[in-house]
Amino acid sequence: MAKRVVLAYSGGLDTSVAIRWMTQEWGVEVVALLVDVGQDPTSSESFDSIRSRALAAGAVDCVIVDARTEMAEEFCGAAIRANALYEGKYPLVSALSRPVIVRHLVDQARRFDATAVAHGCTGKGNDQVRFEVGTHALAPDLEVLAPVRNWGMTRADSVDYAEKWDIPVRATREKIYSIDENLWGRAIECGDMEDPWAEPPSEPYTLTRVSQSEALEVTIGFAQGTPVSLDGVAMPLAQIIGVLNQQAGARGFGRIDMVENRRVGIKSREVYECPAALALIAAHADLEDLNLERDLHHEKARLQSRWAELIYDGMWFSPLKEALDSFIVDSQRHVTGEVRLRFEAPGVMRIVGRRSAEALYDYGLATYEAADTFRHADSEGFVRIYGLGVQTWAARQGAKNATPPER
């Protein structure tokens, strides 16, 4: 019996050609798996037409799984609690969807009694790392196939191949952009953007085209670090993300243009649009400013940047990431409250207020008005002892820069 393989299928040129190519060259049966992580099929085409393409390419079956709630609640939720921004900027759009897809690949591989899974990534990116390391973390026995790394076809060759085998792809020989999207945002690569000096063209942006000139204020409610309401109305996280992508995006908020370090040692220029992700992370971090005790807050800042790095590097399923999760979840016990955001076109977002019943902000301690409860006299001894070491050092060993330079 032919070996059976479950392929992470997107409907695009590479994965469509991969179905036929693996069938022909490797003699395997291919099951196509399309995982819905919130990519917008209406912007391109319906899932039904994607399924017919997989079957036309020779897939023995095409399974479509709706993983939007899972993506939102488990993966985006964790990213919000971790304020996850790789290299301080990128909210991990693609990096978060890969472990979701991997989990379903492994699940379907078991269901179809497959001995391997496959993906359509090239050898130059992070996604191959995420698919392969992730699969082996869940299923050390499964083989992972990467036909695109093996076949040595150019894009034009792939289009010819699709024509030869009557695979109804919509791609042309000229590839303009490589786009990966899900409910956490969109990642845009290639084309003119490969010159880091060149300003990105406006056409590949879809989420952040300005269509609203009126400012908008929204209030996000958090319970233990997770967004639970919008303007006081309780809502599932997937829906909060959807509304914010639209409303903040319509005011041009959410674009990122950066040069990032890929796991494989390449620096690449990347453009993203992530209105909801950036807004929710900023709001969450702001509520932490109000509610987290200082040492916990500072330590979390160190650990959470490591968390983002691990997710970027394909280590969603790993012992260090699990241990950091325990820390992060524990740190969120009192991160409950509300944050007020204002969006103004083009692309401006400001946090204008925050409140919480569990805030550590104490008006009596903070105020300079009559309500002041702070014991000013206590500071005298505190500051003297705090600075004692430096004072002793100055007296015995002298400060090098005590005299201003001559002008």
Q: How many residues bind ligand ARG (CB under 6 A)?
A: 9
Residue 271 binds ligand ARG (CB under 6 A): no
Question: Among residues 123 and 353, whose Cβ is nearest to ligand ARG?
Answer: 123
Catalytic residue, candidates 178, 229, 305, 356: 178
Q: Considering the complex, what minimum distance in angstroms separates the CB of residue 19 from ligand ARG?
A: 18
Show the tokens assigned to 88: 């301080």
Does residue 10 have an active-site annotation?
A: no
Among positions 14, 29, 270, 338, the unique one binding ligand ARG when judged by CB under 6 A: 270
Distance CA 375, CA 381 (A): 12
Q: Considering the complex, what minimum distance in angstroms separates the CB of residue 95 from ligand ARG?
A: 4
Does residue 155 have an active-site annotation?
A: no
Cα 248–chain centre separation? 17
Question: Among residues 95 and 218, whose Cβ is nearest to ligand ARG?
Answer: 95
223 half-sphere exposure, CB direction, 13 A CA radius: 8
109-128 residues in contact with ligand ARG (CB under 6 A) are 126-127
Taking phi over 0 as left and psi of -120 to 50 as alpha, with beta for the rest, 174 belongs to beta
Residue 261 binds ligand ARG (CB under 6 A): no
Binding track over 168-187 against ligand ARG, x by CB under 6 A: ----------x-x------x
Distance CA 154, CA 14 (A): 10
Question: Among residues 61 and 309, whose Cβ is nearest to ligand ARG?
Answer: 309
Residue 95 binds ligand ARG (CB under 6 A): yes
Q: Considering the complex, what minimum distance in angstroms separates the CB of residue 136 from ligand ARG?
A: 19
Catalytic residue, candidates 127, 180, 286, 313: 127
Question: Among residues 205 and 343, whose Cβ is nearest to ligand ARG?
Answer: 205
| 3-state SS string for the chain | CCCEEEEECCCCHHHHHHHHHHHHHHCCEEEEEEEECCCCHHHHCCHHHHHHHHHHCCCCEEEEEECHHHHHHHHHHHHHHCCCCECCCECCHHHHHHHHHHHHHHHHHHHCCCCEEECCCCCCCCHHHHHHHHHHHHCCCCEEECHHHHHCCCHHHHHHHHHHCCCCCCCCCCCCCEEEEECCEEEEECHHHHCCCCCCCCCCCCCCCCCCCCCEEEEEEEECCEEEEECCEECCHHHHHHHHHHHHHCCCCCEEEEEEECCCCCEEEEEEECHHHHHHHHHHHHHHHHHCCHHHHHHHHHHHHHHHHHHHCCCCCCHHHHHHHHHHHHHCCCCCEEEEEEEECCCEEEEEEEECCCCCCCHHHHCCCCCCCCCCCHHHHHHHHHCHHHHHHHHHHCCCCCCCCCC
Catalytic residue, candidates 81, 98, 130, 186: 98
Q: Considering the complex, what minimum distance in angstroms separates the CB of residue 363 from ligand ARG?
A: 43
Does residue 231 have an active-site annotation?
A: no
Q: Are strands 185-189 and 216-223 parallel, antiparallel or unpaired?
A: unpaired
Q: Considering the complex, what minimum distance in angstroms separates the CB of residue 70 from ligand ARG?
A: 19
Q: Considering the complex, what minimum distance in angstroms separates the CB of residue 121 from ligand ARG?
A: 7
Does residue 127 have an active-site annotation?
A: yes
Q: Considering the complex, what minimum distance in angstroms separates the CB of residue 314 from ligand ARG?
A: 10
Question: Among residues 184 and 222, whose Cβ is nearest to ligand ARG?
Answer: 184
Catalytic residue, candidates 10, 14, 255, 331: 14
Residues β-bridged to residue 229: 221, 234
Question: Among residues 270 and 273, whose Cβ is nearest to ligand ARG?
Answer: 270
Q: Considering the complex, what minimum distance in angstroms separates the CB of residue 122 from ligand ARG?
A: 8
Binding track over 320-359 against ligand ARG, x by CB under 6 A: ----------------------------------------
Among positions 16, 83, 94, 336, the unique one binding ligand ARG when judged by CB under 6 A: 94
Question: Among residues 189 and 338, whose Cβ is nearest to ligand ARG?
Answer: 189
Question: Among residues 127 and 288, whose Cβ is nearest to ligand ARG?
Answer: 127
List residues binding ligand ARG (CB under 6 A): 94-95, 126-127, 178, 180, 187, 189, 270
Catalytic positions, please? 14, 98, 127, 178
